[in-house]
Amino acid sequence: MNRSRRSAMEVNQNLHFSSLILIFFFSILASSSETQMYIVYLGEHGGEKALHEIEETHFSYLQSVKDSEEEARDSLIYSYKHCINGFSAMLTSHQASKLSELKEVVSVFRTHPGKYVKHTTRSWEFVGLEEGESLFPATMNKSDDLLSKANYGRDVIIGHFDSGIWPESDSFSEEGMEPIPKRWKGICQTGDDFNASHCSRKVIGARYYLKAYEKCYGTLNTTLDSRSPRDRDGHGSHTAATVAGRRVSNVSFMGKLGTGTATGGAPLARLAVYKVCWAIPHQEKVNGNTCFEADMLAAMDDAIADGVDVMTLSIGTASPIGYQEDGIAIGALHAVKRNIVVSCSAGNSGPAPGTLSNPAPWIITVGASSLDRKFLAPVVLGNGMKIEGETLTKYKLKHTLYPLVYAAEVELPNVAKSVSGQCLPNSLSSEKANGKIVLCLRGNGTRIGKGIEVKRAGGAGYILGNSPANGEDVESDAHFLPATAVGSANAIKILEYINLTKNPMATIIPTTTRLHVKPAPYMAAFTSRGPNVIDPSTLKPDITAPGLNILAAWSRADPPSKLSEDHRVVKWNFLSGTSMACPHVSATAALLKAVHPSWSSAAIRSAIITSAAQLNNIGTLITDAKGNTADPFQFGAGHLRPTKAADPGLVYDASYADYLIYLCSSGLTKVDPSFQCPKDLPKTNDLNYPSLSIANFNGTVTVKRMVTNVGRSKSTYFASVKPPLGYRVKIRPTVLSFRRIGEKKSFMITVEAESDTVLKHEQLDKYRFGWITWFDGIHNVRSPIVVSSL
C-alpha cells in the first residue's frame, strides 16, 4: 500500500484535494496544444431529424475545427442524439472556443475526472456486517397505506445511475413480479459476469458507459471492475436496494438483535440500471471511484429514450457549478421535459455554507438526516461514569475493567505530531498498547482501519472519538475487535478522565439496538448547505431524508470497509451520506407517480416539499448534529413524509416552458431553439416554486405564485405567515376558494423590511427564515422563505 494513500485525509477535503491536483494537472496540459475532454451542448433538438442526421451534424461541427476527418473521428467520444443534443470530444482550448462561437451552441465546457463524486461520506468509511449476519428494519416503515395505493410502485420504472448492480441480491429478486411494462424500450447489455439471465422482471434494463473513462484512463482493467453492469463497488447495489429493493423478511441483525423486514421504498418498482461509475486504476478501492460526466450524459440520454419515469442520482459535482456546465442539470432538464422526476443528493461537503450541488430548480435536491435507531454500546469509565457510544461490532470484552489509554500515549516515537492520537497503520507500540482499551481520534485514516491497528498492536478494545470537525455525527461500524464510537463532546470527557486519573480504567458494554431514539431526526453534520451559490433566488436543498447509518444490499465483490486488509464478504452494509438520502426521495416520487399518474414532475416535487415535517420526535424544531436549531439551508422544507406527500391539498406546478423562461432570466437563452424568450423577463424567483428565496433584498419585493387544487373538489384555504425576523410578509388574497379539482388560483407575496434601521444595521449579513402556510382544515401546505440583503 502506498504511503500517501495511507495518510489520505479521512474528511472530504481529500476529494477536493485530489480534484484540485487533477485540475492543476489538466491546466498544465491546457497551455499546450494538447486536447482535453469537452462537452459541446446544443440544447433541445430543433425539428424532426433521423438519428444519423443528428450524428452527421455533430460530426460536421467537429470536422469544422479539426484538420482531418480522421482526427475528427478519433476525437469524438459520444454523440448525444436521442433527447439531449450535443457531443463530447477531445478538443484543444482553441478548437473549443471556435465551437462556442457557433450560434447553435449553448455551451462548450471542460470536463475532467473528479468533477463529479458519489455522495457517500468518505467512501472509505464504509461499515459492514459479516457473512450470515444480516439486517434491520424498513427504512420507510410508516408508509404502508401509500404503498398499497401505489401497488408498491409496480408500474413505475426507476432509472438508477451509479456503479451498477449485484443482481443476485435478495433485494433484486423477481419472484412473484408481473411482466415488464410494455412501454419499456431499454436493453439488457451483457458483459463480464453479466448475461441476459441477470436481467429480470425486477432489473428490467442494464447498460454501462465507459467511453469517456477509457479516453482518460485507457482500457478498463478488468481485475478492478467488470466491463458490464455488474457492481464491483457496492454503492450502486446499496442505493438501488434503498430505492426499490424487495421486502426481505426474517432477517436478523448480528444473529440476535431481533428480526425484521428489510425493504426499499418502492419494492415492486422496476429498476433500469445505468452503470456510470468505475474503479480508478492504481488506487485503493477506498479512494478510487469516478463517474465521468460525458458517460453520465450518454446514460441519461438513453434512459429518457428507454422510458424511465424517475431518475435517481446519488452523484454531484465536487463544488457548485453553473447549469450550462453541469451535465446532470442538463440531462435532468431534458428528462423533465418528458415529465421524468429527477432526484439527486445535495452532497456531503457540510457543515460549511454554500456547498450544495445539484441546485437546479427542475431537480429535487436531497439533504441527509438521522434515523431514530441507534446501536448502543456505552463506555463505562473506572469512576462509574457511563458515556454513550455506538457500534455494530459483534466482539465483546471478557473482563470487567481494562486499562484505558489515549493513543498518543502508546505511540511509536516516529509518529508525526499532526497525526498523533489517530492510530494510523503501524503507529502504535505493541509493548505499550497490549491488553489496553485505546482511544483513537478521527481525522486521517479510516474508522475501521484504526481499529485494525489497535488490534495489531494487541489492544483489548478500541474507542473511536470524533474530533470537533465531526461534531456529534456518530457512525456505527462493524469493527474487528470490541469497540465503540463516541461524539466529540464525549471524546473530550474521556480525555479529561484519562488526564486527571492515576490508573484510568474502562470497559465497553456489548451492543443493544435502541429504537425510537430522541431527538430524531437531526441533520447530519456532513450534509451540504445552502445558500445556493449558483442561483441565490432558488432555495435549496428541497428536503431531507434518512442518510446516517443506512442498511442496504452490498456487492459481494467488495469488502464492507473497502480496505485491502478486510476479507469479509457481506450481503448487506451500512453507509452514510446524502447518497443514501436521495433514493428515499426517489422512491417516494415513484410511489406518487403511481398514485397520481397525471401529475407533472413539478407537482410531485411540490407535494414532497410542502408536506415535509419541521419538528422532530420530541416536538421541537429539527436540530443539527450539535443540537442547535437547523434551518432551511440544511433541511429545505423539512423531513420527508411520504404519506402526507400523497395528499398535499395544493401543488405549485411548473412546466418545461416555465423552466425555459427561468433560464432566459438566468441569461441562458438558447437552450430550446423552438422557444423564444419573452421580452419582459420575470425575476428568477417568479418561477412557481414551492419555496421562496429573496437575495439582495433592498426595499420591497413582490412575487407571484399559483397553486393548483389536488385535494377536495370544494375547499377553502387560509394563508398564515411566520415572517422572517425583521421583515413583514403580506399575502394577497389571504383566502383561496376552490370549486373543483385542477382549479388554479394565484396570489402575491410581498416582503418588506420592518424598518430601515433593521435593514441597515442588522439584516445586512444575515439570512432570515420564515414560512407561508395554506390551511383548509385538513392540509397544511407549507413553504419556507429565506430573505437576505446579501
Ligand X SMILES: *[C@@H]1O[C@H](CO)[C@@H](O)[C@H](O)[C@H]1NC(C)=O
Candidate ranges 217-225, 236-244, 296-304, 646-654; the one touching ligand X (CB under 6 A): 217-225
Nearer Cβ to ligand X (261/614):
261
**Spatial separation of the C-alpha atoms in residues 529 and 772, rounded to whole Å:** 22
Task: Supply 372's cell numbers.
Answer: 431514530
Q: How far is the CB of 269 from ligand X (least distance, A)?
A: 18
Site for ligand X in 673-732 (CB under 6 A): 698-699
Q: Are 263 and 246 in contact (CB under 8 A)?
A: yes
Nearer Cβ to ligand X (142/704):
142
Neighbours of 724 (CB within 10 A): 24
Q: How far is the CB of 9 from ligand X (least distance, A)?
A: 5
Nearest CA to 198 among 210, 208, 188? 188
Torsion of CA 310, 365, 536, 316, to 10 degrees: -90
User: Pick from 27, 33, 97, 195: which binds ligand X (CB under 6 A)?
Assistant: 195
Candidate ranges 6-14, 106-114, 667-675, 700-708; the one touching ligand X (CB under 6 A): 6-14
User: Pick from 1, 29, 102, 416: which binds ligand X (CB under 6 A)?
Assistant: 416
Annotation marks residue 235 as catalytic: yes
User: Pick from 264, 350, 443, 690: which binds ligand X (CB under 6 A)?
Assistant: 443
**Considering CB under 6 A, how many residues would be counted as binding ligand X?**
24
Nearer Cβ to ligand X (207/232):
232
- Taking CB under 6 A as the rule, does residue 758 contact ligand X? no
Q: How far is the CB of 71 from ligand X (least distance, A)?
A: 28
Is residue 752 helix, strand or coil?
Answer: strand
- Taking CB under 6 A as the rule, does residue 419 contact ligand X? yes
**Spatial separation of the C-alpha atoms in residues 332 and 360, rounded to whole Å:** 9
Strands 315-317, 116-118: pairing is: antiparallel
Neighbours of 478 (CB within 10 A): 27
Q: Are 233 and 312 in contact (CB under 8 A)?
A: no
Site for ligand X in 582-611 (CB under 6 A): none
Nearer Cβ to ligand X (221/434):
221
Q: How far is the CB of 696 from ligand X (least distance, A)?
A: 7
Q: Are 523 and 369 in contact (CB under 8 A)?
A: yes
Nearer Cβ to ligand X (141/750):
141
Annotation marks residue 430 as catalytic: no
Q: How far is the CB of 406 from ligand X (least distance, A)?
A: 8
User: Pick from 4, 32, 148, 250: which binds ligand X (CB under 6 A)?
Assistant: 250
Nearer Cβ to ligand X (66/122):
122
Q: Are 170 and 552 in contact (CB under 8 A)?
A: no
- Taking CB under 6 A as the rule, does residue 426 contact ligand X? no
Half-sphere exposure of 198 (CA within 13 A, CB side): 22
**Spatial separation of the C-alpha atoms in residues 601 and 196, rounded to whole Å:** 32
CA of 762: how far to CAs of 186, 333, 495, in Å?
Answer: 56, 39, 40
Annotation marks residue 162 as catalytic: yes
DSSP state of 151: G
Closest residue to ligand X, judged by C-beta, is: 443
Angle between helices 578-595 and 235-244 (to 10 degrees): 30
Nearest CA to 229 among 204, 250, 246? 204
Catalytic residue selected from 119, 198, 235, 584? 235
Site for ligand X in 126-165 (CB under 6 A): 138, 141-142
Q: How far is the CB of 482 from ligand X (least distance, A)?
A: 23
Nearer Cβ to ligand X (249/713):
249
Task: Supply 586's cell numbers.
Answer: 426517489
Show the CA angle centred on residue 371, arms to residues 369 and 373, nearest 5°. 150
Lay out the site mask for ligand X across 493-512 (x = CB under 6 A, - = otherwise).
Answer: --xx--x-------------
Lay out the site mask for ligand X across 368-407 (x = CB under 6 A, - = otherwise).
Answer: ----------------------------------------
DSSP string, 389-403: -B-------SSS-EE
Nearer Cβ to ligand X (250/598):
250
**Spatial separation of the C-alpha atoms in residues 482 and 789, rounded to whole Å:** 53
Nearer Cβ to ligand X (21/416):
416
Lay out the site mask for ligand X across 444-473 (x = CB under 6 A, - = otherwise).
Answer: x-----------------------------
Catalytic residue selected from 162, 301, 542, 653? 162
Nearest CA to 285 among 449, 470, 425, 397? 449
Nearer Cβ to ligand X (115/768):
768
Q: How far is the CB of 272 from ligand X (least distance, A)?
A: 20
Nearest CA to 370 among 510, 580, 528? 580
User: Pick from 31, 197, 400, 414: which binds ligand X (CB under 6 A)?
Assistant: 197
Amino acid type, 756: D
Strands 364-369, 543-546: pairing is: parallel
Peptide bond into 351 cis (omega under 30): yes
Is residue 546 helix, strand or coil?
Answer: strand
Which residues partner with 755 through β-bridges? none
Candidate ranges 118-126, 490-498, 540-548, 580-588; the one touching ligand X (CB under 6 A): 490-498
User: Pick from 63, 221, 339, 773: which binds ligand X (CB under 6 A)?
Assistant: 221
Residue 678 CA to its chain's centroid (Å): 35
Nearer Cβ to ligand X (167/531):
167
Candidate ranges 3-11, 50-58, 364-372, 722-730; the one touching ligand X (CB under 6 A): 3-11
Q: How far is the CB of 488 from ligand X (least distance, A)?
A: 11
User: Pick from 5, 6, 7, 565: which binds ligand X (CB under 6 A)?
Assistant: 7
**Spatial separation of the C-alpha atoms in residues 438 and 654, rounded to whole Å:** 57
CA of 650: how far to CAs of 606, 639, 644, 740, 782, in Å?
Answer: 9, 18, 12, 12, 10
Catalytic residue selected from 75, 488, 579, 601? 579
Binding site for ligand X (CB under 6 A): 7, 9, 11, 138, 141-142, 195, 197, 221, 223-224, 250, 261, 416, 418-419, 443-444, 492, 495-496, 499, 698-699
What are the residue numbers of the active site? 162, 235, 579
